[in-house]
């Protein structure tokens, strides 16, 4: 029997309702990279063409990591006798002169892990070597990183440390929408809201007048949220709605948030495409300085990081451009030869367009070139 959250009849019904209710083409931003891929995978860009224009947002953690931070990771990975660990997506993201994958091929000991707890285990198994985990991610990832640091402290594993490049989503959205924007509504990341609850997103309708729906990840949940946004636009309402109640509660997950604040404090952070955003980063508290890679190691970093001029990821993750408008898309930049993080990452917009929207590309290119 079809699960109601994937029921084709229900999906069809929602599509028809959305088509019949949109007063004009609505620009809906899917903040989260997982939503970007789901929208492409389920062909919603095509099936709602002429009604909904889906715009990608800054919710792919690999994509918002700056080139300077990639260079920084490369510098840490070059420290002699050190094992560095990372999620797989970071490996092929180009830095200014190299990438983690290239220096791994040259001999650096860089290992892909699925969890910081795997990195901690590598440290336990290799007591004579320093093990650094590259902490890249949002509020969903950070509690587990915090748990790994607490474990390391409890078991006195001093050869483990974290380079924290973590970022927080609400601050980035505030920065993004504080400038002029042409977005009609937001699909908010359900997994971040599962940790934070609803309140940290309430400024979006209140301050920025943006209808917003916290959204799950099945076709029905995504379309249901689009329908709610459509209705809000039609009724001229700005509200925050929980469209993912089977997972997200009003108050989120206080235990996960406690893990975060026990180990990290908020600080300013640099975002690709958005620049320096106050209080949008998470640094390791002094109590954990023995496990803070930035306190333990000071590798020499490049003074200057000239930007990769032709990659347009910064414009794509801020909704100013579609992947197909990038001159490198599909010609020079492909998943096999990525020129920027949006093509590397499993949550990147360019990768989603490349993988799922090929048959739609000709029209999208014509419609969106130069946006
Ligand atoms: Fe960057 Fe490649 Fe995307 Fe262009 S297609 S924005 S070069 S990742």
Q: Assign 31 to helix, strand or coil.
A: strand
Q: Is 109 in contact with 82 (CB distance < 8 Å)?
A: yes
CA atoms within 13 A on the CB side of 9: 4
Helix ranges (H only) for the chain are: 8-21, 33-41, 44-47, 61-64, 67-77, 100-105, 116-125, 142-154, 169-178, 190-196, 203-208, 219-234, 254-263, 293-296, 313-316, 341-344, 349-356, 361-368
Residue 72 scores a pLDDT above 90:
yes
Question: Ligand 1 centre from 322 Cα, in Å?
Answer: 10
Residue 352 scores a pLDDT above 60:
yes
Q: What is the pLDDT of residue 59?
A: 94
Q: Is 186 in contact with 211 (CB distance < 8 Å)?
A: yes
Residue 199 scores a pLDDT above 50:
yes
- φ, ψ of residue 5 to 5 degrees: the values are -75, -10
Nearest atom in ligand 1 to the alpha carbon of residue 333 is 2
**Cα three-residue angle 93-97-102, rounded to 5 degrees:** 55
Q: Assign 316 to helix, strand or coil.
A: helix
Question: Ligand 1 centre from 330 Cα, in Å?
Answer: 9
Question: Ligand 1 centre from 334 Cα, in Å?
Answer: 8
Question: Ligand 1 centre from 124 Cα, in Å?
Answer: 39
Residue 87 scores a pLDDT above 90:
yes
Q: What is the pLDDT of residue 345?
A: 87
Stretch 35-62: mean pLDDT? 95
Cα–Cα distance, 284 to 286 (Å, whole number): 7
123, 150, 168, 306 from 287: Cα distances, Å: 20, 10, 21, 35
Percentage of the chain exceeding pLDDT 70? 93
Residues with CB under 6 A from ligand 1: 311-313, 316, 323, 326, 328-329, 333, 339-340, 342-343, 350
Stretch 258-286: mean pLDDT? 97
What are 10-34's pLDDT values in tens digits? 889 999 999 998 989 999 999 999 9
Q: What is the pLDDT of residue 106?
A: 96
For a mutational test of ligand 1's pocket, the pick from 350, 353, 364, i.e. the residue with the most ligand atoms closer than 8 A to its C-beta, is 350
Residue 187 scores a pLDDT above 70:
yes
- φ, ψ of residue 108 to 5 degrees: the values are -65, 140
What are 113-161's pLDDT values in tens digits? 999 999 999 999 999 999 999 999 999 999 999 999 999 999 999 999 9
Question: Ligand 1 centre from 194 Cα, in Å?
Answer: 31
């Amino acid at each position: 029997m079809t699960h109601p959250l994937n029921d084709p009849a229900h999906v069809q019904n929602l599509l028809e309702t959305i088509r019949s209710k949109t007063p004009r083409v609505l620009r809906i931003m899917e903040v989260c990279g997982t939503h970007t891929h789901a929208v492409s995978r389920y062909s919603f860009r095509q099936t709602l063409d002429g009604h909904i224009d889906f715009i990608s947002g800054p919710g792919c953690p690999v994509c918002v990591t700056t080139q300077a931070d990639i260079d920084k990771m490369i510098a840490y990975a070059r420290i002699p006798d050190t094992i560095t660990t990372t999620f797989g997506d970071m490996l092929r993201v180009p830095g200014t002169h190299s990438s983690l994958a290239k220096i791994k091929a040259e001999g650096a000991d860089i290992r892909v892990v699925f969890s910081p707890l795997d990195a901690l285990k590598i440290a336990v198994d290799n007591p004579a070597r320093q093990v650094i985990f590259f902490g890249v991610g949002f509020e969903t990832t950070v509690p587990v990183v915090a748990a790994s640091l607490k474990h390391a402290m409890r078991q006195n594993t001093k050869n483990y440390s974290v380079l924290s490049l973590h970022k927080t989503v609400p601050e980035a959205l505030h920065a993004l929408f504080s400038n002029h924007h042409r977005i009609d509504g937001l699909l908010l990341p359900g997994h971040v809201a599962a940790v934070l609850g609803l309140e940290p997103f309430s400024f979006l309708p209140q301050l920025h007048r943006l209808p917003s729906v916290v959204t799950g990840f099945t076709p029905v949940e995504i379309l249901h949220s689009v329908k709610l946004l459509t209705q809000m636009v039609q009724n001229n309402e700005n509200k925050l709605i929980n469209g993912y109640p089977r997972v997200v509660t009003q108050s989120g997950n206080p235990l996960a948030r406690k893990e975060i604040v026990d180990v990290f404090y908020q600080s300013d952070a640099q975002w690709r495409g958005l620049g320096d955003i106050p209080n949008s980063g998470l640094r390791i508290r002094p109590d954990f300085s023995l496990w803070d890679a930035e306190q333990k190691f000071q590798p020499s970093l490049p003074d200057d990081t000239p930007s990769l001029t032709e990659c347009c990821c910064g414009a794509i993750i801020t909704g100013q451009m579609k992947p197909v408008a990038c001159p490198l898309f599909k010609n020079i930049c492909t998943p096999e030869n990525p020129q920027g993080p949006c093509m590397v990452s499993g949550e990147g917009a360019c990768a989603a367009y490349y993988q799922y929207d090929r048959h739609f590309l000709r029209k999208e290119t014509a419609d969106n070139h130069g946006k």
